[in-house]
Amino acid sequence: MAMRARPKYWWLAGGFAIGIALGFLTKWLLSLLRSRGAKAPEEMALTVAMAYLAFYLANAPGTALCPLPSALCPLPSALCPLPSAL
């Protein structure tokens, strides 16, 4: 049972890390836009785009996160489902 739960925790941690990282990136980009005099529609477009990007990355299959063969992938084998090319 513990072995089956392990990949679920990797997905949870990965989604959390992606969300936090893109949150900080959004905050930085919004401050950059504000310093250059962007209006509200540009800020809203950035916020919506980053939210969709976070959703896509967090729900992407393992191949999108690590396009390497599983023998070379730094992620756990459950997150890198490609067959080994070696």
Each residue's pLDDT, cut to its tens digit, for the chain (86 residues) gives 445 555 667 777 777 888 899 999 999 999 999 999 999 999 999 999 999 988 888 776 554 555 555 555 555 555 555 454 44
Crossing angle of helices 40-59 and 2-35, in 10° steps, is 160
Sole residue written with tokens 């310093």: 35
Sole residue written with tokens 């930085």: 28
Model pLDDT, residue 7: 64
Give how far Cα 22 sits from Cα of 6, 8, 47, 79, Å.
24, 21, 10, 20
* 12 exposure class (CB count in 10 Å sphere: 0-12, 13-18, 19+): exposed
Model pLDDT, residue 26: 94
Model pLDDT, residue 84: 46
The pTM score is 0.61
